[in-house]
Structure 1
Amino acid sequence: MKHTTQENKALVAHIHSELDKGNGQAFIDSLADDARWTLEGTTPWSRTYDGKAAIREELIRPLFAQFAAPYVSRTERIIAEDDRVVVLFSGDVPTKAGKRYNKRYCYVYRIEGGKVKELTEYFDTALVQQALEAPPAPAHAG
């Protein structure tokens, strides 16, 4: 079943309204099992995370383990057309290493069947290099 632009935008608006409250569960629940999340750039975090399990275990868990406080975002704008939804937002959280992680983002979602199928993240790569420790190597890396 093809969802409308308005339905896709409403899904992403719900995800980000929850993220703005510090609740990431709506985001996790919205991911398709075979979702792909690509972090652009050349940081140690930059790559495509394939599948909901990899997104949780290789990206979200090690990232949030570095934060010294709950992460809360601030959504600024949501723009939608067909199956694509673009979100501009920011967040600010101290890391356990005592650094400030005040990041601005642009997420480009592709929604399929009411689930997040693809997500491309554009972000401040210099800040990531400065504020975060590199993630552990993926389990399948050899």
Structure 2
Amino acid sequence: MTNLRADRVRLFGFLQDPGTQPRFWERVSDDVDWTVQGTHPLAGRYHGKEAFLDATFRRLAGVLKGGAKLEVEQVHVDGDITVAELYSTSTTNEGAPFTNRYCWVCRFDGDTIVEVRAYLDSAMVAYTVLRNETAR
């Protein structure tokens, strides 16, 4: 289990820099079932990696300087389920810190993420996305 946990910590660590994020996305199934909980502009159920990326990370890239940057706070592994607690180190286009926290409950099939339920601060996302998209 220790090697599996170390692998998952390393995997989620790729999210801290947009330059290393492709290494994370390589381990996400092309037909992932990804649900972002909440009532904000990024919330929804996405069928497929590209649909999720278009609606979330690529959209955030337009409102966050340098894109979304997520650091690992905790990783919990139990069989094919990994829970990753992450926090944002991003800055909005306005120069404000985007200090959001995330909890992703991920189901793996082998080394590949096939399903995710993501939880975050809906109010912060709504405020940041709507304010910064209209400011452009």
Give the alignment's TM-score, normalised by structure 1.
0.79
Cα shift at 1:126: 1.1
Choose from 10, 16, 20 the match for 2:16: 20
- Percent same amino acid at aligned positions? 24
Shift of 1:133: 2.5
Long gaps (5+) in structure 1:
137-142
What residue is the counterpart of 2:78 in the other structure? Answer: 81
**Letter of the aligned partner of 1:50 in structure 2?**
H
Quote the offset at 1:58 in angstroms: 2.5
CA positional deviation for 1:72: 2.9
TM-score by structure 2 length? Answer: 0.82
User: Match for residue 110 of structure 1?
Assistant: 107
Amino acid at match of 1:12: R
Structure 1: how far apart are the matches of 2:57 and 2:25?
10
Aligned-CA RMSD value: 2.3
**Structure 1 stretches of at least 4 aligned residues deviating more than 3 Å after TM superposition:** 5-11
Q: Given the alignment of the two structures, is residue 95 of structure 1 paired with residue 92 of structure 2, yes or no?
A: yes
